[in-house]
Each structure stands twice: as C-alpha cells, then as structure tokens.
Amino acid sequence: LLGVFGGRWVPLVFFPFWAQQLLNLTPFPYLFNAIVRTYQGAVDYGQIQGYFLNTTVWLLILFVISRILWKKGQINYAAYGK
C-alpha cells in the first residue's frame, strides 16, 4: 500500500490527475516520490519548500493523534500480577 501510493513501485505521474491530487493530500507521496523527484531535479525550490511544509504538517497531525491515542490507552490500561 505504501509502495504504490508513495510512488515507489508505480511513479505517481502514471496515476490520473485526480488521483495525483487526492494522493497529494495524504502523507504517502512525501515518503518516497518527493525525495526522488527532488534528486532528479524535477522540482524547483518553491516545490521543495511545499514538500517540507506538507511533511511537517503531517508529522504534527500524526504526533497529535498518537498522543491522544496514547493517553486513552493509559486510561484503559490495567495490569495484574507482580
């Protein structure tokens, strides 16, 4: 799943335009496709900043979600024994 949506197995340029736009709203393209396109020189400086900004936003979103789930898990945790 990550390999397909991230552009590792199938480059994202082979997807239809609507699918590319949809995938750009997820964190998957920034894990592989953005890095490869940057090394290939296929993006300009503004796009690199956009990649970095999107990656940072996704990092913060997933961090907040993980903290919320961790707190809920601590509330429901029960240990028995020694």
Tokens 């996704």 belong to 58
- E strand or H helix that includes residue 64: helix 45-76
Looking at residue 70, its pLDDT comes to 95
**Residue 81 to residue 6: CA distance in whole angstroms:** 44
Please give the model's pTM, rounded to 2 decimal places.
0.75
Q: How confident is the model at residue 4 (pLDDT cuts 50, 70, 90)?
A: confident
Looking at residue 64, its pLDDT comes to 98
User: What sign has the CA pseudo-torsion 41, 3, 55, 21?
Assistant: positive
Looking at residue 2, its pLDDT comes to 78
pLDDT digit string, tens, across residues 25-74: 888 888 888 888 888 888 898 888 988 999 999 999 999 999 999 999 98
Mean pLDDT over residues 6-25, rounded? 89
